[in-house]
Amino acid sequence: MKFFKRIFGTIDRRYMIRSYLISMLYFGIMLPFLLHPDLSPIITIIIIINTLLFPFSKIVWDTSKAFVLGETIIVQNALAHFVAKYLINGILWSASIFIAPIGIAYLFFKSKQHA
């Protein structure tokens, strides 16, 4: 229980809510596939796990982006920006099962430093 308190206590609540809403959007996109009778139960489990772990993979992306770009301001077309965000979030959601453990470890060690 302490483990979960340390990890979730490090993250801003609004960030988690927003991330889970985005995750539910991708889950909703996958819902018609989940309802297909020939779908393997393993795929269903992976989709549910990706939905639950998405915020942690998003943390990896956001901290990496902040590290690389710093305080840089990028001016670009709004449509291109939203398409890029949609694609990046889709990649993060679909690979959450692999990326999220890095985010969980990052939050665990970050909370250890603040304690």
Distance (Å) of CA 60 to CA 32, 35, 84, 100: 29, 31, 17, 7
- pLDDT at position 101, please? 95
46 within 8 A of 97, measured Cβ to Cβ? yes
Tell me the pTM: 0.86
The answer on pLDDT for 22 being more than 90 is yes
Give me the amino acid identity at 79.
L
Kindly indicate the confidence band of residue 71, based on its pLDDT and cuts at 50, 70 and 90.
confident
